[in-house]
Amino acid sequence: MTETAPTLSSCTLSTDNPEPFSDQGETCPVVTNAMPRTGVDPPDTPLDSSMIVGWIGLLGEVRRDASDAERIDQLHALERLKSAAAAAQARITVDLDASVRAAHAAAGIPTDRQGRGVAAQVALARQESAYRGGRHLGLAKVLVGEMPHTLAALAHGHLSEWRATLLARETACLSREHRQLIDTQLCADPAGLVGWGDRRLINEISKIAYRLDPVAVTKRRAKAEADRRVTCRPAPDTMARLTILGPVAQVVAMYAALCRAADTAIATGDGRTRGQLMTDTAIERITGQATAATVPVEVNLIMGSTTLFGADDQPAHLAGYGPIPADLARSLAVSAAEAEAAWLRRLYATLDTGRLIAMDSTRRTFPAGLAKFIEVRDQYCRTPWCDAPIRHIDHAQPHHQDGVTSADNGNGTCAQCNYARQAPGWEIRPEPGPRHTLKVTTPTGHSYRSTAPPPPGHPRSERRGPTSPRSRRTRVTSK
């Protein structure tokens, strides 16, 4: 096969299973109009990235003048294609990890540091955060190395990537042998999973796991209790979610207490809704304040002077959350000032592009002030597609490579991204631009750009985030 534009036949995935599969697993009995097997053989030449990219154009030409039955068949086939793509990504990810680890071993890198940075490269390639890149890498290793039937079901579109994740996650506490028993029992014949929802799948895995190794399941529960935590996440419309992850008995007891408090207030004629009463009660009890509205808060609120004084309604930026409406920003500033809890730190930006160039600091020594400046400028981790909170202020060009400690050479990162960049072959360099711009180059030579978001009240000459990845290497065709 020559590397010309792919034809429909060359892009048809064969349903031939590389591993033994029952006849029941060849079609999905849920879809009554499912297309029969086409019998198209795989291409003679293994697929490379250019051929896969060609499918994107073909998918843009999917028939629109079709019957409803054909549309259902198309939806079903595309869903199976997504699952097959996820299985292919898992295999590719494991191959990448093995190759990088071998190269690190040959270079004499200590064993505990071999493979560092692989998850970050996977994340960039999949346009996701480093955290999700690590999850993709972990799932790929489990599927390829320990759960062959789950991988086969995924490759043939009988199982979604999320369901495969559940199978891997819920068996994580088991030995390799027990995990493989569950893999065989549930996925050797994927027809048995037809119609199952997530909860049923999890419950079935839990029952089998407890029967195989009750001690491991008990230890997992104890570990989960040790990992109890509280997290805060932004929500739409200037709201936020406070999540408490804890032992079921205690969390249910907290919820019941809030319900009782709300019911009591409603019975006495309180006009607030049940949800409002439960939320306000939780805020009051956690903070110890008499009312939810008087809770003292220390936040970094960033807005232009024209917004602060009401000359315009440009959105402000609330650190840890994101853009908020101008009227809410002014209200927060006024409330803080009236409570004598407000203080100002001036940021200096160029008028034409909004590039932050300096900051005065009334509470910090210079190093801490510079770190705060970078944190305010970058807002979130500067790695493309990673919106995690900033935990480290890092040198783009490392200090041991004569990188200077300056705003231009500094960038805010989450801990995971910063550690990933310590692996050999990574390069981060500042580039000229209207606002602070970094070029991130991975060990494979792929480059990604990240531009700092503009401060409130200044023109958005560029969108925050990376450009399309570009490779510095010439493509190697298959022989």
Most confident residue range from 49-58, 220-229, 258-267: 258-267
- Across 56-67, average pLDDT: 87
* Per-range mean pLDDT, top range of 289-298, 377-386, 403-412: 377-386
Per-residue pLDDT band at 375 (split at 50, 70, 90): confident
For the segment 124-135, the average pLDDT, to the nearest whole number, is 93
CA–CA gap between residue 159 and residue 194 (Å, rounded): 9
> Is pLDDT of 233 > 90?
no
Contact 127, 194 (CB under 8 A): no
Q: What is the mean pLDDT of residues 153-177?
A: 94
Residues pairing with 451 in the sheet: 437
Quick check: 58 pLDDT over 60?
yes
Alpha-carbon distances, residue 448 vs 130, 214, 438, 466 (angstroms): 14, 47, 8, 6
Better-scored residue on pLDDT, 323 or 194: 194
Once rounded to an integer, what is the mean pLDDT over residues 466-470?
39
**pLDDT, mean of residues 155-171:** 94
Across 85-89, 187-191, 324-328, 445-449, which has the greatest mean pLDDT? Answer: 85-89
Q: Is 77's pLDDT higher than 80?
A: yes
Dihedral (CA of 355, 375, 464, 472) sign: positive
- DSSP bridge partners of 230: 244
Q: Tell me the C-alpha distance between 84 and 90, whole Å.
A: 10
Over residues 262-299, the pLDDT tens digits come to 999 999 999 999 999 999 999 888 887 766 555 554 45
Whether the pLDDT of residue 75 is over 70: the answer is yes
Looking at every residue in the chain, the average pLDDT score rounds to 77
Distance CA 300, CA 345 (A): 10
Q: What is the predicted pLDDT for the residue at 308?
A: 67
Whether the per-residue pLDDT at 467 is higher than 50: the answer is: no
pLDDT at 349 over 80: no
Q: Highest-confidence range of 87-101, 287-301, 315-329, 449-463, by mean pLDDT?
A: 87-101
Most confident of 2-11, 69-78, 246-255, 383-392: 69-78
- pLDDT number for residue 34: 35
Full-model pTM:
0.65
Lowest mean pLDDT among 175-184, 320-329, 352-361, 370-379: 352-361
